[in-house]
Amino acid sequence: MNQNISSRRAFGVAALAGGSLMLSASVYGQTAGKMLSKKDLSALVASAKTAEDHRKLAGHYRAVAAQHEAEAKQHTELAAKYKANPTGTEQKHPNAPDTASHCLTYAEHCRNAAKVMSEMAAMHEEMAKHAK
């Protein structure tokens, strides 16, 4: 029965996380810019010359940065939940997927990725200023 409760709790946290991420990505994506498909991104990176091209790329990178920020926020919140309701896994298997330390590590990774994407957006915004 203890295993069953733990499984239900893990499923509940995962469901909450998934829903939260989809909502956050949707909200952030609307304000940050439009994400491009992999094909469109690849083509635009290879051929960007105009100010509009670079603005599209900047918008894409801002949207990706916002998505990473949303994931970082979500995983920071999950870490707090794991700390408040520990499973015992943290001591036996540090940084396992169902631990606070794993969530904090992933949140930091997401914040770093968001920073890089924001820098890419700024670079393309600057390139748009100098393009025709």
Please determine, for residue 14, whether its predicted confidence score (pLDDT) is greater than 50. no
Is 101:90 a contact under the CB 8 Å cutoff?
Answer: yes
Please determine, for residue 17, whether its predicted confidence score (pLDDT) is greater than 80. no
Give me the number of domains the chain comprises.
Answer: 1
CA–CA gap between residue 21 and residue 58 (Å, rounded): 22
| Per-residue confidence (pLDDT) for residue 96, from 0 to 100 | 85
| Per-residue confidence (pLDDT) for residue 5, from 0 to 100 | 42
> What is the pTM (predicted TM-score) of this model?
0.72
Domain containing residue 92? 2-130
